[in-house]
C-alpha cells in the first residue's frame, strides 16, 4: 500500500494510552480545523466575538475546496457560528480561512498550547498553504496546479507531480503546519473534559458529532458506538482523522490516526479509510481489554 503512519488512543478521562510513533510530527491537513473551531468558539463564549455577526464571503479570492462555499458561484453571507458548523461538518475551506482571518493564527496556537499541545502549530491559512504547495511544484498558484493535465500540457508527469507534491514544504511537518498523534489526543481530552471554556468545548463536540464523513474511525466500530470526529486529507499525500468514540457503557476514548502515502504508494482513498478504522479499533480494543496488551 505504501502507507506510513502514526496513531494514539487514550481514555478521555485521562490515563495511559497506546499507539505507535505518537510523538513523531505529522501534517494534520484539515484536522487542524478543530483548533480553529475551538478558538472561535472560545471568543464567542467570552463575548469577544459576536457569533451572530454576518460575514460576507466574496467570490474573488475564495479559498478552493471540494465542498461547500468553495464551490459556490455567488457571494455568500453567513454568521460566524454557522461558519464553524460548515467547517466542522463538511470541512469547508472557505469558511475555515474566514474564521482564521477573524481570530488570527497567534490566538489559535496560543490556546492550543495552553490546552496541552504546545507542538501543534498552524503556520498558514489554507489559501496560503495550497498556493505554497503549488509554488514548490513549479506552478504560479493552486488553481494552475489543479488545472494541470500532463496528457495535454506536458511535464510534469503524474508520477513527477506526485513526487513534487509529497516533497512540498507545507506537507513537511518540520516546516509546515504540524501536530502529533499524542498531542491531538491531549487536545480532544481537554475538549471532552471542558478544560477550555465549557460552552466552547460543547460547541466543538457538537460540531464534530455532526461530521458527514463516517468512513474512517467510525468504520472500525459497530453502530452501537458513537463517534465524533474530524477528518483531514491533502492532495493524495496525507489522510487522517481524530475523534472520540463512546461506547454504550459510557466509556469514551480519544483517538488520532495519521497516514502518509509515499509517491509510489498504491493505497486508494477507501483502502486508507478502512485502514484508519482498523487501527482505531485495535487501539481502543487494547485499552478496553488490558489483557490483550
Note the pLDDT of residue 1: 64
pLDDT in tens, 167-203: 999 999 999 999 999 999 999 999 999 999 999 999 9
Cell of 1: 500500500
| Percent of the chain whose pLDDT exceeds 70 | 98
Count the neighbouring beta carbons within 10 Å of the beta carbon of residue 20: 12
For residue range 46-76, what is the model confidence (pLDDT) as tens digits?
Answer: 999 999 999 999 999 899 999 999 999 999 9
Output the pLDDT for position 2: 77
Nearest to 204 by CA among 175, 169, 237, 229: 229
Q: Is the pLDDT of residue 119 over 90?
A: yes
Residue with cell string 474573488: 60
Provide the whole-model pTM: 0.95
- Strand 238-246's sheet: what is its strand order? 18-20, 3-11, 252-261, 238-246, 226-234
What is the pLDDT at residue 4?
92
Strands 76-79 and 54-57: antiparallel
Q: Is the pLDDT of residue 267 over 90?
A: no
Mean pLDDT of 260-280: 91
At 16, the pLDDT band (50, 70, 90 cuts) reads confident
User: What CATH homologous superfamily does 3-292 map to?
Assistant: DD-peptidase/beta-lactamase superfamily (3.40.710.10)
pLDDT, the chain, mean:
95
What does residue 55 show for φ and ψ, rounded to 5 degrees? -115, 135
Q: Which residues of 112-137 are buried (b: 16+ CB within 10 A; e: fewer)?
A: beebebeebbbebbbbebbbbbbbbb
CA dist 100 and 71 (Å) reads: 19
Crossing angle, helix 33-45 and helix 198-209, to 10 degrees? 140
- Amino acid 140: pLDDT: 95
Flag whether pLDDT at 293 surpasses 60.
no
Look at residue 25 in the predicted model and tell me its pLDDT. Answer: 98
**Secondary structure of residue 75 in the 3-state scheme:** coil
So what's the pLDDT on residue 3?
87
How do beta strands 76-79 and 226-234 pair?
Answer: unpaired
Average pLDDT over residues 120-143: 97
Q: In a 3-state reduction of DSSP, which class is residue 39? A: helix
Is 87 in contact with 33 (CB distance < 8 Å)?
yes
Domain edges within the chain:
3-292
pLDDT band at 239 (very low <50, low <70, confident <90, very high): very high
Cα(222)–Cα(205) distance, rounded to whole angstroms?
Answer: 20
Amino acid at each position: 500500500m505504501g502507507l506510513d503512519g502514526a496513531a494514539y488512543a487514550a481514555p478521555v478521562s485521562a490515563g495511559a494510552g497506546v499507539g505507535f510513533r505518537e510523538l513523531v510530527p505529522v501534517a494534520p491537513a484539515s484536522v487542524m480545523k478543530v483548533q480553529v473551531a475551538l478558538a472561535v468558539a472560545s471568543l464567542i463564549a467570552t463575548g469577544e466575538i459576536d457569533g451572530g455577526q454576518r460575514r460576507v464571503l466574496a467570490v474573488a479570492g475564495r479559498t478552493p475546496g471540494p465542498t461547500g462555499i468553495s464551490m459556490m458561484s455567488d457571494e455568500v453571507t453567513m454568521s460566524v457560528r454557522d461558519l464553524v458548523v460548515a467547517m466542522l461538518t463538511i470541512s469547508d475551506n472557505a469558511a475555515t480561512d474566514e474564521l482564521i482571518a477573524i481570530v488570527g493564527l497567534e490566538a489559535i496556537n496560543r490556546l492550543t498550547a495552553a490546552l496541552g499541545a504546545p507542538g501543534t502549530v498552524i503556520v498558514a491559512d489554507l489559501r496560503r498553504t495550497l498556493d505554497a504547495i503549488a509554488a514548490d511544484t513549479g506552478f504560479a498558484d493552486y488553481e494552475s496546479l489543479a488545472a494541470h493535465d500532463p496528457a495535454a500540457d506536458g511535464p510534469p508527469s503524474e508520477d513527477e507531480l506526485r513526487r513534487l507534491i509529497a516533497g512540498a514544504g507545507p506537507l513537511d511537518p518540520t516546516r509546515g503546519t504540524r501536530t502529533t498523534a499524542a498531542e491531538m489526543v491531549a487536545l480532544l481530552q481537554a475538549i471532552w473534559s471542558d478544560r477550555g471554556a465549557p460552552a466552547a468545548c460543547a460547541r466543538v463536540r457538537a460540531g464534530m458529532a455532526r461530521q458527514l464523513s463516517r468512513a474512517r474511525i467510525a468504520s472500525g466500530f459497530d453502530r452501537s458506538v458513537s463517534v465524533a470526529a474530524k477528518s483531514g486529507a491533502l492532495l493524495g499525500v496525507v489522510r487522517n482523522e481524530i475523534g472520540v468514540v463512546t461506547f454504550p457503557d459510557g466509556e469514551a476514548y480519544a483517538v488520532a490516526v495519521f497516514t502518509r502515502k509515499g509517491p509510489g504508494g498504491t493505497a486508494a482513498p477507501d483502502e486508507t479509510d478502512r485502514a484508519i478504522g482498523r487501527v482505531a479499533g485495535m487501539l481502543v480494543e487494547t485499552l478496553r481489554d488490558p489483557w490483550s496488551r
